[in-house]
Every structure is written in C-alpha cells, then in structure tokens.
Amino acid sequence: MNDFIVSLNAIKRNVKVLNDRELLADNKKYNYELIPVCSHSFLLRLNDNFFEIIAEKLNADLFTVLLNGHQFDVTVRTTLQEKAFRLLENSVASHHYHRDIKAPMPGLILKIKKKIGDKVELGESVMILEAMKMENDLKAPASGTIENIAVSVGSAVEKGTILFSIG
C-alpha cells in the first residue's frame, strides 16, 4: 500500500507515493529522491530543495527524526492502520478501564521510560526488563495514562509481579 498518514509533531499529513520519483503530500505533487548516506542518515530531495535527515525507529510506527538540525517525533501509518488505530482509540476512550501490567518472566528492571501521568499509545515502550541476559522491551498493551509504577530501576521481579498500571 502506498497511501500513508504521517504525523509530524502531531500534525497529520496525507502522503501518497505515486512512483519511485513522485509523491503527493496533502494533494500537492513533489518530485523526490531519498539518498541513503549511512544506516540512519539520508539526504532527501523534494523538488529542488535538499534536506538532511537522521532517523531513529522507536517502535513499529514511531520515529525520532532530526531534519536539518530540528528534532521531530514522526508517526508513519498506512491509511488502513490509521483507521484501525482511531477505531481502537475511540473504543478505549469511551470505556474507562484500569489495567495492571505484570512481569511476563522473572528478571531485573533496567530502565523505566515513562512516569506516572504520562500518556502512552498502544505498543509504546514503557520499561526494559532484563531476563536470561536479554533486554525485553515491555510495551503498553493499550493506549492510556500511566496510573502507577510499582517497581524501580534495579528491582528484581518475579513472574506475575505488577510492574505498572494503565488507565
């Protein structure tokens, strides 16, 4: 699929890739070329303008992008993924819930990426649990607000220990 919804710091744009040289962004046609420089660095040409981009993928559809020295949070979803995300978000918003997230295995809490009161989206990383010498990224099973964090960095946890709550 070549139709995308690109959110740049929460501002949504419709992007349709027409072919390997042309795209439509909010119904405006651009000639483009994306030139890889190294693993996370690119040179983007839009018509006659050039942009230096450094991108880091944070999860399935979220990126941190440095564009000509300015940092942006960028979400890229197909139009179908965006519709599904909105349906889920509206469904969850209409029903208040409280969900405790438990440790899937025994381990050690290495990093806590969110704090109480932070908003999280479905699939967004919340904390890192080290188990069997591997780092496991524990993600939000639903969108919501972090209501409680029951552990701290360095905590040893058993399987089934409540780690955090989303409401």
Assign residue 162 the CATH number of its domain. Answer: 2.40.50.100
Tally of CA atoms within 13 A in the half-sphere of 150 that contains its CB: 15
Q: Are residues 103 and 63 in the same domain?
A: no
Percent of the chain with pLDDT over 90: 59
Instruction: Give the distance, in angstroms, between the CA of residue 11 and the centroid of all CA atoms in the same chain.
Output: 15
**C-alpha Rg value of the chain to the nearest Å:** 19
Average pLDDT of the segment spanning 28-34:
95
pLDDT digit string, tens, across residues 90-114? 665 555 567 899 999 999 999 999 9
Please check whether residue 91 lies inside any domain of the structure. no
Name the least confident of 75-84, 88-97, 108-117, 126-135. 88-97
Q: Which of 80, 110, 144 is the last residue of a domain?
A: 80
Please check whether residue 125 lies inside any domain of the structure. yes
Can you tell me whether residue 88 is helix, strand or coil? helix
Please check whether residue 93 lies inside any domain of the structure. no
Q: Which of 19, 53, 80 is the last residue of a domain?
A: 80
Q: Are residues 16 and 65 in the same domain?
A: yes
Q: Are residues 103 and 64 in the same domain?
A: no
Give how many domains the chain has, as a whole number: 2
On whether the CB atoms of residues 109 and 164 are closer than 8 A, the answer is no
Query: Which conformational region is residue 32 in: left (phi greater than 0), alpha (psi within -120 to 50 degrees), or beta?
Result: beta
Please check whether residue 87 lies inside any domain of the structure. no
Helix residue ranges per DSSP H, 65-166: 79-93
Please check whether residue 50 lies inside any domain of the structure. yes
Q: Which of 80, 111, 139 is the last residue of a domain?
A: 80
Q: Would the pTM count as exceeding 0.85?
A: no
Please check whether residue 85 lies inside any domain of the structure. no
Can you tell me whether residue 105 is helix, strand or coil? coil
Question: How far is it, in rounded angstroms, from Cα 127 to Cα 112?
Answer: 4
- Residue whose tokens read 């990426």: 113
Average pLDDT of the segment spanning 143-153:
93
Q: How many helical (H) and strand (E) elements, i.e. helices and strands, does the chain have?
A: 1, 16
Please check whether residue 150 lies inside any domain of the structure. yes
Quote the Cα angle for 102-104-107, to 5°: 100
Q: Are residues 72 and 108 in the same domain?
A: no
Q: Which domain holds residue 34?
A: 3-80
Name the least confident of 30-44, 59-73, 82-96, 145-159. 82-96
More confident residue, 158 or 88: 158
Please check whether residue 161 lies inside any domain of the structure. yes
Q: Are residues 74 and 122 in the same domain?
A: no
Question: How far is it, in rounded angstroms, from Cα 91 to Cα 109?
Answer: 32
Q: What is the pLDDT of residue 95?
A: 53
